[in-house]
Every structure is written in C-alpha cells, then in structure tokens.
Structure 1
C-alpha cells in the first residue's frame, strides 16, 4: 500500500516577480510531521512540436531548430516550442509556435502527452504535439528571437541524443516518443487541423 507523501504548505513568501517567471519560498509540513523549506519557480506552461516532413524517399525528416540559450551559454538543438499565453489552448499554442518559429503549418495534429522537465524546482509542464502534412510559409519570429531552422533524419537526431549534442530535456523526450511511434510501439490519434 502506498504511503501519503503529500507536503502541506504552512506559509510562503514571494522572492521574485519577473515578467515571465515568479520565484517563491514556502515552508511545508512533511509527511512525518517535520517542516522544511521549498523554493520553486512558477511557470505558465509550454508546448513542444515534433514536426514530421515527408521526404521524397518516404522516410520522415524532422524540423528542428538551433537556438542560443543564455542560461547555459550554448547553442542548443531543439524541437520548436514556446510558452502558453494566458488563456491559450495548448493546440492553439502549438500551431502558433510552429508557424512563428519555422514558418510551417500542419494538415494533421496529434497530442502525445505531457512532461514536467524540472519537477524539483518548477511548476513548468510541456505538452508534446506531433504535426504532419507540413506546408512552408513565412516565419514570424518574436522580437529579439534568433534561431536557425533545419531538417534532419530520425537517425541523425538519435545519434545527436546518444553522443550528447542534444541535451535539451524536452527534445530528448520528443525523440523518445518519436522512436516509439515510428517503431509502432506507441500510437497517436491524428486529427485533421480543421477538426482540432
């Protein structure tokens, strides 16, 4: 039988209220009756898109990005992603981010799942969406956003994950999902863009 591991907030303090993130320190009651402090960041949530391009040989190619990430001082290979605006549906966000960052729209969409990339200190969640039947249009990058869009094979992505070139947690999870979908182990419920 599972034990109740819930921690109960006794009181809290706001440490930082930024334009994007908010940081808090709470005192909590532990399951054994003791107390502890928990510092965490409140994040609005995000989406990630695994965009599948159909190549001439029938094998899928992936739309990826290279973007400089200031906190780690590195250019990172990632799937397209972005934060959810207040009140925005996650699929609407996925469509918006795919178009803004890559210029692509998709004929079909499938929700894969959700991940919590840093559960120890953040409320962030990322909804994972797959997109296919892509049509290229014009990108609409946010002001101050600089990224390079490129395509790669699934084999190339898996090699980059294996050798440490891909270190972004959401992209590693996207590769994991992709590998299982392509192997037929996991299925996706594809829906036409007009029905979603």
Structure 2
C-alpha cells in the first residue's frame, strides 16, 4: 500500500524543520494497530526511513465522585496491561470507534468500564502520548455528578474500579506507583483545575444522555 505524499502540518516559520513523505509501505494491519514504513525527505534534502503506527485516537475520563462531606474522590481502574506484564492504575479510557464523536465516546467508555454515568462534562484538552512512533491522540474529559450503575465490559476485558483522593493519586505519581502517561497528564490537569490555586478554567456542559 502506497500513501499520498504527506503535507507537513506546520506553520511557515517551522517549515525548515518539517519532513516530507516520499513513499509509504504498509508493514502491518492488525485488528487494532496499523503500521507503516515511510521514506521521507529531511530538511537537508537527505532521505531517511520512519516507522510508525496509525491509531484511531482515544478518550480519557477524569471522573469526580462528590462525597457527602463535600470532598471529591477520583474514579480509577486497575487493569493488567499485557505489553507491560503488570497491573496498571489509570483513569478510564478507550479508543474511538470509526466516526465516533469523542464526547459520546467518553460517555460510553465511562459507563461501560465503571458503570457510572455523569450529569456534566468538560473537555480539558488533548495529549499525544507517543509522538515519536504513533499518530495516537487522547482527548481528556472531566465528568461530575456521577450516578453508579452496571458495568458493560467488553468480552475479554477484566478490570477493577477503585476510588482515591487527589492527594493519593499525586503520591502514587510521585512514587512511581502510577506511570501511565495519560493518567500522569490527567494528574497535571487536576493540579491546575482543582488544586489549591486552580488557574485553568473548565467549561461544563450537560451529558447527551442526561435527563
């Protein structure tokens, strides 16, 4: 499979850093991953090989579970990740289906994996977790006004749902108990939206499925 030459998506001031795809070879089409090996022209006009994975994109949800005393706990998951060979602590997340709206995906993944639905949602931003070898992006969403319900895990999906305070999550990040990149990014957003001196505003909107 040969793809059309890639037009760099860069500002004109950065054009001197861009690489241009000359040709592309498909090297793997799996159930989930799609890998390519491209030949590119570098800024000095020499050529080089670039191998990368095309990813459909994903969402991550930071669920805020309000307590009766006014405090908030975070909903997290513990799941065995085969490439790492260990159980990882992370925020709920999942990949986008073809053509799926990220907001709807966030609502679907939260319900399927944790059983919770949320009354209000706020899009925080986007992260690119592995920019050196993948097109993957992850949209970060906050959810609040949670209501517990039944999970609907996919076949072959096994995970535990836990809750933690923000302070506990920060400690786990500091000590290396949490090393998942998207969850570390989520902790960074938490510090700036719900920390002692929040400076990053969130714009909340109602769930599509809320009454």
Normalising by the smaller structure, the TM-score range is over 0.9
Q: Residue 66 of structure 1 corresponds to which residue in structure 2?
A: 78
Task: Give the corresponding residue for 1:174.
Answer: 186
DSSP-derived class of the 1:4 partner = helix
1:136 aligns to what? 148
Change (3 A) 1:194 1:70: closer
Counterpart Cα distance in 2 of 1:85 and 1:163: 35
Q: TM-score, normalised by structure 1?
A: 0.97
Deviation at 1:129, TM superposition (A): 0.3
1:87 to 94, 99, 108: 99
| Whole-angstrom distance in 2 between the partners of 1:3 and 1:124 | 23
Asked if 1:185 is matched to 2:199, the reply is yes
Q: Distance in 1 between matches of 2:127 and 2:156?
A: 27
Unaligned runs of 5+ in 1: none
SS of residue matched to 2:162: strand
Say which SS state the counterpart of residue 71 (structure 1) adopts.
Answer: coil
SS of residue in 2 equivalent to 1:77: strand
Which of 145, 158, 168 is matched with 2:170 structurally?
158
1:126 counterpart = 2:126: no
User: Structure 1, residues 97-121: CA drift from partner, whole Å, max 9, x if none?
Assistant: 0000000000000000000000000
What is the alpha-carbon distance in structure 2 between the residues aligned to residue 129 and residue 3 of structure 1? 32
TM-score (norm 2): 0.90
Choose between structure 1 and 2 for higher RCO, CA contacts under 8 A separated by at least 6 residues.
1
Larger CA deviation: 183-192 vs 135-144: 183-192
Structure 1: how far apart are the matches of 2:70 and 2:17?
Answer: 49
1:193: how far off? Answer: 1.4
Q: Does 1:25 align with 2:42?
A: no
What secondary structure sits across from 2:168 in the alignment?
helix
Gaps of 5+ in 2: 1-12
